[in-house]
Amino acid sequence: MDQIIFTPTRAAGLERLADFTPRAGAAYTAGRNTDPGPAQNGAVSRLSPWIRHRLVTEEEVLRTVLGRHTPQAAAKFIDEVFWRAYWKGWLEMRPSVWTGYRAGVARALDRVATEAGLRRDWEAACKGETGIDGFDDWARELVATGWMHNHARMWFASIWIFTLRLPWELGADFFARHLMDADPASNTLGWRWVAGLHTPGKTYLATTDNIRRYTDGRFAPTGLSREAHPIAGAPNPPAMALDLPRLGDLPAGKVGLILHDEDLAPWFLGAPGAEATLFISARAGFSPLAMGAAGAAFAAGAATDAVARWQGRLGRVTQGAAHADAIADWAATEGLSVVRAAYAPVGPTADLLANAARRLAEAGCVLEPVVRPYDARAWPHATHGFFKFREAIARLLSAL
Ligand SMILES: Cc1cc2nc3c(=O)[nH]c(=O)nc-3n(C[C@H](O)[C@H](O)[C@H](O)COP(=O)(O)OP(=O)(O)OC[C@H]3O[C@@H](n4cnc5c(N)ncnc54)[C@H](O)[C@@H]3O)c2cc1C
């Protein structure tokens, strides 16, 4: 399959940003819904694998685009960049939606193990063997490349839920295993949005005409469901107060760093940096099933690139198992009093760090999570829908 190459280095991400920036205005607005297939860039940036790992940050993307366009001309693109912060903030204030999703995946996989019909349909959907034009191509494209266009993600999720009538959690899990940009908030909430669980009563229905039009006639599936009734589910929990950690008084002593794939730029490390660094990836904890090769390769390459670029400030670097005991053993071996880490939003890395903080505390070591100012400013606005969040965007831009 001819495909665009995603090289997991910051240099490649910056090159793509520079190439895309002239097109971030009217060309993006006009062409962003068209999926030209895996061999062509189309009108979108295809920056999400870099942004998701913070090899390139949202702030850098916004600043670069605003260096070339007015906020009005690039309004659509700017909105899209802020959708990531919106989803993260929304989930951060409603962590039970994440635990509910995890329980839903486990329940659905139990059903797959015992219901032959469901297992057959789920396997056919994941292998791209349903006979549905487009859907099968996107499934195979995702497994082979780790990538899917946003509009194809919407069509795919809609067909999975409303035509194939498969549990939405299994579809979100399929994306989580294979996407290079697999992200707990954007993925889980993207699927919930299509299913009608995010905005009560509002679902997304994929239609033949819309798919034909926005794939330039490459696909025109027939037999799609003509209805999309919202999936039954508990109403959204109310937003909890956002209680982000603040930097406290730290004990004197040796300082270590945990570098993780939620944020591969430890911007908070001043000179002389950390005495020792542990790199951990909790990516495998995103699904009970095995991770796909393309997404895993991007994540591993991104980590190697980050370690090489930050080398001078990381001290002795160790690659560790994603387990609280392994983190505590590393801190003890290095004789650390403080371990710093970029704050991880709701997801497997946050779960791991919470367990590690308890184990470290038992040994008299403090785990200090550091929140990016961009996140701290944006997340509190995700109390309701995106349209309310949007009202804060002008202020968030001026804070850049
Ligand atoms: C069912 C479903 C699942 C999804 N799962 C993920 C996921 O696991 N990880 C992920 O990063 N995105 C996910 N998305 C959002 C979106 O599809 C991708 O972020 C987008 O396709 C990335 O392509 P791009 O970089 O070319 O985006 P562009 O259109 O060029 O947008 C620029 C940047 O804005 C952000 N962005 C754009 N659209 C969205 C969006 N809808 N939600 C959140 N951020 C957005 C991304 O950081 C993106 O790189 C999902 C969407 C749906 C409908």
pLDDT in tens, 52-63: 999 999 999 999
**Ligand 1: does its nearest atom lie under 6 Å from the Cβ of 179?**
yes
Give residues with Cβ within 8 angstroms of 85, minimum separation 6: 58, 374, 375, 378, 379, 382
Identity of the amino acid at 254 = K
| HSE of 154, CA atoms in CB hemisphere, 13 A | 15
Instruction: Note the CATH number of domain 10-92+379-398.
Output: 1.25.40
Q: Which residues of the chain form CATH 1.25.40?
A: 10-92+379-398
Query: What pLDDT score was predicted for residue 207?
Result: 98
Q: Which residues of the chain form CATH 3.40.50.620?
A: 255-370
Nearest CA to 258 out of 335, 308, 331 is that of: 331
Q: Which residue has its alpha carbon closest to ligand 1 atom 46?
A: 48
**Which whole number is the average pLDDT over 367-395?**
96
Is the pLDDT reported for residue 251 higher than 70?
Answer: no
DSSP class of residue 258? E
Q: Which residues of the chain form CATH 1.10.579.10?
A: 95-214
Q: Which residue has its alpha carbon closest to ligand 1 atom 52?
A: 190
CB-based contact 342:314 (threshold 8 Å):
no
Q: Which residue has the tokens 């940096």?
A: 273
Lowest mean pLDDT among 247-256, 264-273, 353-362: 247-256
Give residue-wise pLDDT tens across range 171-200: 999 999 999 999 999 999 999 999 999 998
What span, in angstroms and rounded, lies between the C-alpha atoms of 285 and 349? 8
CB-based contact 283:299 (threshold 8 Å):
yes
pTM of the complete model: 0.96
Angle at 155 between CA 95 and CA 187, to 5 degrees: 20
Mean pLDDT of the chain: 95
Report long-range pairs for 110-119 (Cβ below 8 Å, ≥24 apart). 111/167, 112/170, 118/166
Query: What pLDDT score was predicted for residue 253?
Result: 80
CA 204 to chain centre: 20
Give residue-wise pLDDT tens across range 322-359: 999 999 999 999 999 999 999 999 999 999 999 999 99
Nearest CA to 382 out of 11, 90, 1 is that of: 90
Q: Which residue has its alpha carbon closest to ligand 1 atom 40?
A: 83
Query: Which CATH class, in words, describes the domain spanning 255-370?
Result: alpha beta
Tokens of 23: 């097109």
* Percent with pLDDT over 70 in the chain: 98
Span from the CA of 150 to the centroid of ligand 1 (angstroms)? 6
CB-based contact 84:70 (threshold 8 Å):
no
Instruction: Note the CATH number of domain 95-214.
Output: 1.10.579.10
